[in-house]
Structure 1
Amino acid sequence: MRKIAIYGKGGIGKSTTVSNLSRALAAKGKTVMQIGCDPKADSTKNLVGGQPIPTILKTLKEKKKNVQLEDIIVEGDGGVLCLEAGGPTPGIGCAGRGIISAFETLETLHAYDTYQPDIVIYDVLGDVVCGGFAMPLRNGYSDEVYIVTSGEMMSMYAASNIAGAVRQFANRDYASLGGLILNAKNIENEEHLVHKLSQEIGTGVIQHIPRNPVVQKAEHQGKTVVEAYPEDEMTYVYMTLADKILKED
């Protein structure tokens, strides 16, 4: 079982990238489990028809000790196993702590042993890398980290911070940095800026995802591009990303 954490600044298109990657990996015959680690709980929506799924935190609150795996895991397009950690009511509680509680619940319920996924992907908010948001980097939860970024300054700043956090844990045999995923926003000199960043943080750009309106077109249907438009050139882009990540194994 490979465990991959994908980080990125909020609004960068990380969840769109992750859900298309999960669907592409599923199309290649892999059993994929995608875990959204963002209080907005919208990581998996394009895999389940655009509808929200029960979050682990909310289910814990409602059912307490009676939570079962079928209460929190929804099978999405292509058989992707979808979970959302969720978060506290805005202004009350700690979102990072919510991620910790979600991970502890999955261990208690033996989720990984029960479903035996080939690949687990954690979709993690990367604006801050502290507390629960750093959980996928620690304690063996993930083997490798990829960072979604664009050429926008704040996106690259967040990517640099995330890379720094990965380095902090490097000497403890925790997750390693696999590379950057450029989700283009059509910024001037964008490729040059992101490649320069990759050199500064000691990694590479493993895939360039061009800006294409078909992505939003698919999202309006509550689907991934891979599901809605399997013959489109953007599906090829996500399939290529899946191939590169599989090759990294």
Structure 2
Amino acid sequence: MSKKIKQIAIYGKGGIGKSTTTSNISAALVEAGYKVLQFGCDPKSDSTNTLRDGKYIPTVLDLLREKPKVDAHDAIFEGFKGVYCVEAGGPAPGVGCAGRGIITAVELLKQQNIFEELDLDYVIYDVLGDVVCGGFAVPIREGIAEHVFTVSSSDFMAVYAANNLMKGIKKYSNSGGALFGGIIANSINSPYQQGIIEDFAKQTSTQIVEYVPRSITVTQSELSGRTTIEAQPNSKQADVYRSLARKIHEHTESRVPTPLEIDDLRAWSARWADQLLAIEAGEVRGVQANI
């Protein structure tokens, strides 16, 4: 009997640090001795490059454009400490659906039993979270991923994308879809940012998994084409990612979130806008999370 593979999906709006976070989680897990495959589901195909010294790899859709039948092994490349890397890819610019690459790539690897053959402990899907259309929703809708996490800052558009993701999870939860593990709070460097994201988690009946501060260490590492775990292994930021990886490893229970309706989300954000103005004007001191 084959071992159970822990499959997780990490979503987040474009530019929020989703791939940076995912790659550092993968690096921390392989550093700890686990067998990990990172599955890039963004049509930009840039999820795994910091696991491979900045090198990009052919995508599943690239290979299928060259020939109709593809050996899945041709789409799998090794990176830092043996982490396996796959990029689903996307259509040619202006043609087709960006989600098609995810559907096609997942089907290809499942049909050829790649996950079992590689004896994996983890498959980590790195998924664009601005939209939860048919393709991008595959890890949720099909129950491929057991646990879903989102990377979000305290900025409204990041929170908006996280709330939309929760709506998708709630929709598919009654038909065997994946459940929500929590929020990875990224670029949190001040009490008010922490207060906003903590209150959002409370409003949506979920939790903060880890706080990841904004750090020049991350920028330096990515400019060198590497994860922070590889480029700056002794840094405080690397330890934050190791802590996050441990928490994901130990995570066993995900739940159905309670996303806000758009009017409620806007009313909630407006209250926080007034709170921040009051703080800036010196009318109140500190951050009140229960507003």
- TM exceeds 0.5? yes
- Structure 1: 5+ residue stretches without partners: none
1:40 pairs with one of 34, 38, 44: 44
What are the residue-to-residue correspondences of 1:56-205 with 2, within 5 Å? Answer: 56-65=60-69, 67-184=70-187, 186=189, 189-205=192-208
2:15 pairs with one of 11, 16, 19: 11
Return the letter of the residue paired with 2:63.
T
1:50 pairs with one of 48, 54, 57: 54
Aligned residues of 1:151 and 1:187 also touching (Cα < 8 A): no
Aligned residues of 2:40 and 2:126 also touching (Cα < 8 A): yes
Once structures 1 and 2 are overlaid, which stretch shifts more, 167-176 or 28-37? 167-176
State, as a whole percentage, how many aligned pairs show the same letter: 47
Distance 2:199 2:191 in 1: 14
Counterpart of 2:68 in 1: which secondary structure?
Answer: helix
Structure 1 residue 187, shift from structure 2 partner: 6.9
The residue number in structure 1 matching 2:32 is 28
Counterpart of 1:218 in 2: which secondary structure?
Answer: helix
Distance 1:113 1:187 in 2: 44
Aligned residues of 1:146 and 1:179 also touching (Cα < 8 A): yes
Aligned residues of 1:6 and 1:122 also touching (Cα < 8 A): yes
Distance 1:77 1:127 in 2: 28
Distance 2:91 2:191 in 1: 38
Which gives a bigger RCO, structure 1 or 2 (Cα 8 Å, sep 6+)? 1
Distance 1:224 1:170 in 2: 33
Structure 1 residue 98, shift from structure 2 partner: 2.0
Aligned residues of 1:152 and 1:187 also touching (Cα < 8 A): no
Structure 1 residue 116, shift from structure 2 partner: 2.1
Return the letter of the residue paired with 1:222.
G
Counterpart of 1:235 in 2: which secondary structure?
Answer: helix
The residue number in structure 1 matching 2:246 is 243
Return the letter of the residue paired with 1:61.
R
Structure 1 residue 108, shift from structure 2 partner: 2.0
Aligned residues of 1:36 and 1:43 also touching (Cα < 8 A): yes
Once structures 1 and 2 are overlaid, which stretch shifts more, 111-120 or 232-241? 111-120
Return the letter of the residue paired with 1:40.
K
Counterpart of 1:83 in 2: which secondary structure?
Answer: strand
Distance 1:179 1:226 in 2: 22
Structure 1 residue 114, shift from structure 2 partner: 1.4
> For the aligned residues, what is the CA RMSD?
1.2
Q: Deviations over 1:179-206 (max 9, x none)?
A: 0001116477111111111111110001
Aligned residues of 2:185 and 2:211 also touching (Cα < 8 A): yes
Aligned residues of 1:148 and 1:181 also touching (Cα < 8 A): yes
Distance 2:211 2:191 in 1: 15
Structure 1 residue 146, shift from structure 2 partner: 0.3
Query: For this pair of structures, how many residues does the alignment match?
Result: 248
Distance 2:84 2:101 in 1: 20
The residue number in structure 1 matching 2:278 is none
Aligned residues of 2:57 and 2:87 also touching (Cα < 8 A): yes
- TM-score, normalised to structure 1, is 0.97
Aligned residues of 2:138 and 2:144 also touching (Cα < 8 A): yes
